[in-house]
Structure 1
């Protein structure tokens, strides 16, 4: 794969994920502005709604993909020492994967009522 195709794919991923992230965060902001849950039970009821849970489960990997492409591009552009760049990319990959797994578990735990 050429660098041009890789750059185009990164650009497309950034734009596609940004659209969903903006729309979903807009929904969440409107919901919490006009019909905010009054307590923890109401919040759990909202998050266990299948459409809301599906929205969050789609939001998480798209947020991580968006963040990964962004941080990868910044590191490629501004960290010129290859060893440092690889170390930072590995560190960010670990943090993103761990954060994604933690958030996925939190949504499933809320949905299963544990």
Structure 2
């Protein structure tokens, strides 16, 4: 794939993930403004709903994609030594994957316990 096509894909991923993040945040702010869970158990029950947990997982995936594209572009533009760039990209990738797995585990445990 050409560098130009890669840039277009990164641009599209950034815009699509930003749109989902914005819409999800508007939905959650509206929902929690009017139907805030009154206890931890009510919150756990709310999160255990398959639609909510899938929406939250998609939110985290979109957030990680959005962050990855942003940090990748910054590192490519401003870190010129290739080994430093590869090292930093690897560290960020490991961190993002770890965060995603941690969140998936939290959602899974909340769904099982409810």
TM-score by length of 1: 0.95
Dislocated runs of 4+, deviation >4 Å:
none
RMSD of aligned residue pairs (Cα, Å): 1.1
Q: Which runs of 5+ in 2 are unaligned?
A: none
Is 1:25 the counterpart of 2:25? The answer is yes
In structure 2, how many angstroms separate the alpha carbons of the residues matched to 1:32 and 1:71? 31
Equivalent pairs, count: 114
What is the TM-score normalised by the length of structure 2? 0.95
Show structure 1 runs of 5+ residues with no match: none
Q: How big is the shift at 1:45?
A: 1.1
Structure 1 residue aligned with 2:93: 93
Equivalent residue, structure 1, for 2:70: 70
Give matches, 1:33-112, under 5 Å. Answer: 33-112=33-112
**Residue 51 of structure 1: how far off its partner (Å):** 1.1
